[in-house]
A and B are shown apart, each in its own frame.
Chain A
Amino acid sequence: MSQVNTQLAYILHKRFYRETSQIIEVFSRDHGRLSLMSRGSRGSKSRISGHLQLFSPLLLGWQGKGSMPYLRTVERADIKPPVLPRQSLLSAMYINELLIYLVHKHDVQSGIFDYYHQCLYALQNSTQIEIELRKFEIKMLALLGFGLQLEHDADSGKKILAAQNYHYYVEHGPVACNELKVNQPTVGRITKQESKPVYSISSPFIQGRTLLALLKEDYALIQRDRQQLQQLKHLMRYIIHTHLGGRPLKSRELFLTP
């Protein structure tokens, strides 16, 4: 019987189970992502239902063998929880969706956990939402082993030039292009791993200076330029789309303005 005490963790998702129980998806610092069964934690009589909220740092204890241990203890962690303004909540939900689909269960990812923790605090400032999301996506992918290639042109091997435009290909890298063919189809280019080269989003192009700013982790520079921010967003959307195997993200619908 394995037992874990006071583990710093966030709840990513909750689903109701039977009358008063719920299954919670947890992202913990030292044990990775896992599902816990929380018995009797719903309803007005439960003392812990107020604690079991998303985006709040908790100290959890659990016990049990198998794939779904039982939640034993819940405490608020002794740090001030992030107070997310309403505008940031949908973005934070998007991050949770990314984590659930991209981080495998029981894969200990303390680095990603720390970035998640930082990102939630950064989202308290609703003017920073967009750049913070990009920062988290890039760092998370890097820690998962899908980091971006930012130094060299993947075809010629030359250094990235600030004034040059590039096409970015997943698992290949940036390739210099002279004409801006925004809607150039990706078919044929990404051949190795893509047996079904059907994409709704085409391989995006990006300016050299954006790549160089990313290399230096100078996010403030990108944030100042609307166009760069937009290009980076399309690039990350394309890369994440590929790593998700084309699975659509439901939280994206929340950002479509009808």
Chain B
Amino acid sequence: MMSPLLQQLIEALKCLPGVGPKSAQRMAFHLLERDRNGASELAVALQQAVANIGHCERCRTLSETPLCGICASPSRDDSKLCVIETPADVYAIEHIGEFRGRYFILMGHLSPLDGIGPTELGLDKLDKQLAAGQVEELILATNPTVEGEATAHYISTMAARHGVLATRIAHGVPLGGELEFIDSGTLAHAFSGRQRLLS
């Protein structure tokens, strides 16, 4: 029979994604037998994170200050706003180094069957930002999935109400890709979005 505290720890660890009873038990034993220091650091870090990290008031990313680093920066271009699905996308776009505007993070996409509608994505906040009139171009960089397209369409109608230009990122053949191995949907998109070669 396991002690109640140990049992409680195992139950708590099961909340992690992909962790079942066996893995939770292994983690609990490892923390208690081999790495007590690590365990207390983890406990403190978890507690601080849960207590202090909230959402940025402006772009909804995870942040412990009311405004995140990017939103607080004065050197950013206020006229361009990029809408993305997850905070991980911010790092991907920042990595290109091209974009100097601001972000708005949906934390998902419209998915009625998961109970995710416009309010869950914080679109009322986005609506207010569009109404404020600073934004001139809204770049819709949701994923090129059916759900992402639907979300982009929904947001583009919002932008149209406020007279803001909405643009969608291009999608098609990846760099270094070979047409032979590309699925027909992607290729069809690449074809319909072809551009004139200026020479």
Contacts and interface: CB of A to CB of B under 8 A. Distances in A.
Interface of A: 12-13, 15, 18-19, 25, 50-51, 53-56, 76, 81, 83, 86-87, 89-90, 93-94, 96-97, 100, 249-251, 253-254, 258
Contact of B147 (A54, A56, A87, A94): A54
Given A51-B183, A250-B112, A86 B118 contact: no
Interface in B102-159: 110-119, 124, 127, 145-147, 149-150, 152-154, 156
Given A254-B117, A254-B118, A254-B154, 14 more contacts: A12-B113, A13-B113, A50-B185, A53-B185, A54-B146, A86-B150, A89-B146, A90-B153, A93-B113, A96-B113, A251-B112, A253-B117, A258-B124, A258-B127
Contacts of A96: 113
Central interface residue in B112, B145, B184, by most chain A CB within 10 Å: B112
Contact of A86 (B114, B149, B184, B185): B149
Determine the main DSSP class of B at the interface with A. helix
A89 B157 CA distance: 13
Contact of A250 (B113, B145, B186): B113
Contact of A87 (B113, B115, B153): B153
Contacts of A50: 183, 185-186
Interface of B: 17-18, 110-119, 124, 127, 145-147, 149-150, 152-154, 156, 183-186, 188
Nearest to A249: B112
Nearest to A258: B127
Most A Cβ at <10 Å: residue of B114, B150, B153, B186? B150
A19 B18 contact: yes
B147 A253 contact: no
B112 A254 contact: yes
Contacts of B115: 250
B14 to A, nearest CB: 14
20 contacts: A50-B186, A51-B185, A56-B185, A86-B149, A86-B150, A86-B153, A87-B153, A89-B150, A89-B153, A90-B153, A93-B110, A93-B112, A93-B113, A93-B147, A97-B112, A253-B117, A254-B110, A254-B112, A254-B118, A258-B124
Describe A's contact surface by its main secondary structure.
mixed
Contact of B118 (A13, A53, A253): A253
A215 to B, nearest CB: 32
B28 to A, nearest CB: 20
A5 B17 CA distance: 32
A18 B117 CA distance: 24
A18 B118 contact: no
A97 B164 CA distance: 31
A19 B147 CA distance: 20
A89 B147 CA distance: 8
B154 A53 contact: no
Most buried by B among A25, A96, A254: A254
Nearest to B150: A89
Contacts of A51: 183, 185
B110 A53 contact: no
A88 to B, nearest CB: 9
A90 B146 CA distance: 10
A53 B154 CA distance: 19
A109 to B, nearest CB: 18
Closest 4 CB pairs of A and B: A86-B153, A251-B112, A250-B112, A89-B150
